[in-house]
Amino acid sequence: MLSQAVILVGGLGTRLGERTRLVPKPLLEVAGRPFLDYLLDELTRYPTIEEIVLLAGHRADVVVGAYHGKSWRRASLTVVCEPSPCGTGGALKHAAGKLQDRFFLLNGDSWFDFNLLDLALRARNSSALVHMALKRDQAGDRYGRVVLEGSRVRSFLGAGSQPNGPINTGVYCIDRAILRYIDELPCSLEQQVFPRLVAEEQLEAGLYDGFFIDIGIPSDFERVQHELPERLRRPAVFFDRDGVLNVDKAYVHRIEDFEWIDGAREAIKLCNDLGYYAFVATNQSGVARGYYGVEDVHRLHDWMSGELAAEGAHIDDYQYCPYHEEGTIEAFRRVSDRRKPAPGMIIDCMNGWPIRPEGSLLVGDNDRDVEAARAAGLPGYLYREGDLATFLRPLLKATVAP
C-alpha cells in the first residue's frame, strides 16, 4: 500500500516568461490559489497517502516557506531543495534518503484526473520498476506519444510525430531501485532513464481517460484558470454503510464482525474510475446507546480504507451520526439534523466538497436513506440484494471527458 507521493516543483518555467521569475511554476495562482494546492488536495483524497515530498529547485525558498513542515489533511509535507539544477532524475537521486521503497511521482505543473490507486494496483501486480499513467488520446502536436505493446512501453515518439495517441502525463508509480539508473547529474528521467528501462522491459503503462492539462505554456495557463475549478465539480455517490457496503448484523463496529457486501468494493472503485466522489453517510446510534464509542467508528472506517486501497479504491469522506434522541449516553442523546432521514450528512458533504448535484445520487437500503437524499435534492435508490456494482453501474454516467 503506497503511502508516499513525491512532486517535482523545481522547473524554471521559461515559456511563461516573467510569471515565474519570482515564483516557481507550480506555485503560480490558478483561480486564486497556487496550482500546487490543487495537486495536494487531490493527492490527499486518498487516505493511504501519509507523506508528500516536494522536490524544489528554482526559488526553492518560496516552496520551503509555504509548505515545509506543514500538513495537508492527514499527510505531512517535506521540502527537499536541490543545490543546483539536477534534472528530474537528479532531483530524485538527491532526495534518496527520503524515498520509500515505492512511491508516486508527479510533475508539479500538470493535472491528470484519474484514479491514482488503480495505477498502484497495476504496479503491485507487476515487476516493472516504473508504471506511468497515460492519457489515452490527447489532441495536439506539442505532445510526444507513447508506443505500447500490451501494457509494456516499447518506444517514445517525439512531439509532432503524429496528431493523436497516448501521451505521458507525468504521473508515475516508481520503485526506488530506479536510483541505480541515475549515474551522473544532471539527469533527466524522460531522456536518459526511461529509454534504458524500455530496453530492459522495466517500464509499463496504464491507459486512462480523464481531463489532462499542463500549465507550461501561456495559452494553457490561461485555459486552466477556468477549466480546472470547473472540472473539480464532480458528481458524487453517497453510500449508506450497514446493509449496503457491509452485511447488516446490527450495530457493526468490530472489524471481525464486518462482512463486505458482494460487489461493494468494486462499486466504490467504479465510482473512482468514472470520476465520481464517493462518500459514506451512516447513522451510528450505537454510540448514543453505549454499545461502542466514536473511536470504534473511526477504527473501522480506517480499516475499510485499507481494504479498499488493496483493491484500487477509496472513499473520499466518511460521514456518520452518533446521535439519537433516546440514547443512554448523555453527550449523544439528542435530535440531530445529521441523522437520516434528515439530510445533514449529505448537505455537510455538499458544503465541504466541490460536488456537482447533477448526476449525484445516494444508495441506501431503507426508506429513510431515500428520504434523506430527496431532502438534499438528490435521487435515492434502494439496494436490496445482489452484487452492488451490478446494481450501481446502470445508475452512473461516465463524467470524465475523453
Told to judge if 240 belongs to the known catalytic residues of this protein, a careful annotator would answer: yes
- Among 151, 76, 158, smallest CA distance to 121 is for 151
Chain length of the chain: 402
CA distance 176 to 100: 7
Three cell numbers, residue 218: 501561456
- Among 73, 94, 72, 70, smallest CA distance to 84 is for 94
Give residue 143's region: left, alpha or beta (phi > 0; psi -120 to 50).
Answer: beta
The helix (run of H) or strand (run of E) holding residue 242 is: none
CA distance 246 to 264: 8
Pairing mode, if any, of strands 236-239 and 277-283?
parallel
**102 has which bridge partners?**
175
At position 371, the amino acid (one-letter code) is E
Rounded to 10 deg, the angle between the 367-375 and 344-352 helix axes is 40
Per the CB < 8 A criterion, the answer to whether 345 and 321 are in contact is yes
Three cell numbers, residue 12: 524554471
Q: Point out the catalytic residue in the list 214, 242, 273, 365.
A: 242
Give residue 205's region: left, alpha or beta (phi > 0; psi -120 to 50).
Answer: beta
**Residue corresponding to grid cell 457486501:** 261
- Other beta carbons less than 10 A from residue 302's beta carbon: 13
Q: Point out the catalytic residue in the list 109, 113, 220, 240.
A: 240
Rounded to 10 deg, the angle between the 116-124 and 264-274 helix axes is 120
The helix (run of H) or strand (run of E) holding residue 54 is: strand 51-56
Pairing mode, if any, of strands 71-72 and 75-81?
antiparallel
Cite the active site residues. Answer: 240, 242
